[in-house]
Amino acid sequence: MSFGCDALTDADPQGLGLTYWFDAAPEGEPYPVTVRFIGQHAGTTQDQSSTDHTFDVQATVDHVTPGSGRIALTTRVLDLAPGQWQVNATPVSSPPRQSSGTSGQPAQQPALPDGSATGTTTFAPVARVRAPGVRLGAWPAFVGVGAVMALITQALLAGHHRLPTLSLLVISFVASLLGIVGAKLYYLAGHREQKNNLLLAGMSIQGFALVAIATVLLGSLILGIPVGRMLDVTAPGLLLGMSIGRPGCFFGGCCAGIPTASRWGLWSSDREVGVRRIPVQLIESASSGTIAVTAMLAVLLTYPATGGLIFVAAIAANTFIRQLLFPLREIQRATAHGRALTMAVTGLVMAAALAIVLSGN
């Protein structure tokens, strides 16, 4: 993979991003595919045996879904000597045997072909996140736009409910910054193998929401802003920001859905395997947007606000739907009963909040 940024051409450390493309078998049971990549630096001589001038690595797709179409298997090799490399790719496993349907004799699927390519190293942190279908900068761009729209929405609704708009905006801005820290820490709590890679580790929307909401609550109490009304005018913007930010995950290669052979699947990547997948990020974006619009209408139609019940109902509904969508993600949750318990609690909270709001109107 190449990267068009001359400023990072010679920056250390250097690495290579390698992708092998192949087509899934048209039918049958899921099967693994392993590809061996052997690379040699273009300037290597026979007396150079250092590990940064040659490499021999393997990459595996554990479950190729038959009928899922074109697949891109990506791996990275880091800490290499900079410059040009020659790489050969050799599949070391093949699709399974299937019946030919004519003579009754088993027929072997066509063997996956070998491949070769010549490429130049790039800045290793870039190589870590580059892959076919992944757009560099997509995640911060979408999340940044979502944060701005969330603050604008909150300010407009705060003015409608005669809350101190400027003070609330300052609190929310600080809460957003602290929320980023919370998102990192929450993610690392569930991915402890990445604890030594803080900058490149992912983020969790749950961690962001917990820290940001706690900060807004504390700031509102300190400045004497009515907490219930503040929460209600905050909910639509928070969910709108989530809705806008989620497509950044789709284009950025995180929170990927499970592979599928369905015609409704969309080709996307988790930065290692590009394949047709259930677009769970876009489904979650649509659900968050729907809840945001519903909450916004409720805030506009209720004056004074409902003492925070709109916020409670909206966040509970969003959490409930997220739990429904978790099985569609490629990386499954480790907890055995947490998902069912969370759905039960949020379902009851949502129903109770809506009942109180409707009975009061």
pLDDT digits (tens, 9 = 90+) for 237-247: 999 999 999 99
Q: Which CATH architecture has domain 13-129?
A: Sandwich (2.60)
Where b means 16+ CB within 10 Å and e means fewer, 191-229 reads eeeeeeeeeebbbbbebbbbbbbebbbebbeeeebbebb
The CA R_g of the chain, rounded to the nearest whole Å, is: 25
Instruction: Provide DSSP, 10-41.
Output: TPSSEEEEEEEEEE--SSSS-EEEEEEEEEEE
Domain boundaries, the chain: 13-129, 138-163+226-359
pLDDT digits (tens, 9 = 90+) for 52-80: 789 999 999 999 999 999 999 999 999 88
71-75, 100-104, 160-164, 251-255: which is most confident: 71-75
Q: Are 288 and 318 in contact (CB under 8 A)?
A: yes
- The mean pLDDT of 275-286, rounded to a whole number, is 96
> What is the pTM for the complete model shown?
0.84
